[in-house]
Amino acid sequence: MAGQETDGSLRERRITARGAATRDRIVQSAADLMYVKGVNATTLDDVIAASGVSKSQLYWHFPGKEDLTRAVIAQRGQEVLERENQRLQHLHSYRGLVRWRNALVQANSLQDGAYGCVLGSMANELADQDEQAVMTLAGLFESWEELLAAGLRRMQAEGTLSADADAGRLATGLMAALQGGYLLARTAHNCRPMEIALDLALDHVRSYLIDAGSGA
């Protein structure tokens, strides 16, 4: 009897693992499609074809497109914050901010700015459609901004950024420049507007450096 229960538990775990893999495949396929085509233009039939699952499998995990879209936001948000945490967790200098800017511009230039920020693009499309999704996106942007603000506060603690600087406001300005730059680059299929927007925001941060001439 105990052996039967053990075998049953193992089968249940295998089914659960298989189901989780199917769910992950659906979400990844949807994320890729929504990034290129947009949320509204991506249909559930598109996702079924791209992921290779059946319609019943998709609906088992996601009763509707709204549920799938929210899962995509959660996955993309985690990916973006993990990436940005890697870039910003040790930020403590203006040069570090410039490296952050360069990494984002370089990555976006590989596709000529064609698709923009994965989070910003979804925020634009869903602004008047799904309040819960928009609230989740707002929280993700807030977390991203806080990574920037924390780096700026470290600069203040080390004496390279003026205590008069409002780290939170500067972080919001950097984020606004980044997202606006993404949008303009996407429209122009050229990353130059993104570069300009970020450089102007960085110039404002630079004006608060204790020794602006050193580029600390």
Tell me the pLDDT tens digit for each residue of 134-182.
999 999 999 999 999 999 999 999 999 999 999 999 999 999 999 999 9
Q: Is residue 216 part of a domain?
A: no
Q: Are residues 54 and 120 in the same domain?
A: no
Q: Are residues 144 and 59 in the same domain?
A: no
The token pair at 190 is 């050229």
Please tell me the predicted confidence (pLDDT) of residue 78.
96
Contacts of residue 119, defined as CB under 8 A and 6 or more positions apart, other chains included, come to 73, 76, 77, 80, 137, 140, 141
Please tell me the predicted confidence (pLDDT) of residue 15.
52
Please tell me the predicted confidence (pLDDT) of residue 9.
46
Q: Are residues 106 and 149 in the same domain?
A: yes
Is residue 127 predicted with pLDDT exceeding 80?
yes
Is residue 112 predicted with pLDDT exceeding 80?
no
The total number of structural domains in the chain stands at 2
Q: Which amino acid is at 142?
A: E
- Of 63, 83, 104, the residue at which a domain comes to its end is 63
Cα→Cα distances 123→71, 80, 106, 114, 173, Å: 14, 14, 23, 16, 18
85 is in which domain, residue-wise? 72-211
The token pair at 47 is 């996702």
Q: Are residues 80 and 161 in the same domain?
A: yes
Is residue 52 predicted with pLDDT exceeding 50?
yes
Q: Mean pLDDT over all residues of the chain?
A: 90
Whole-model pTM?
0.86
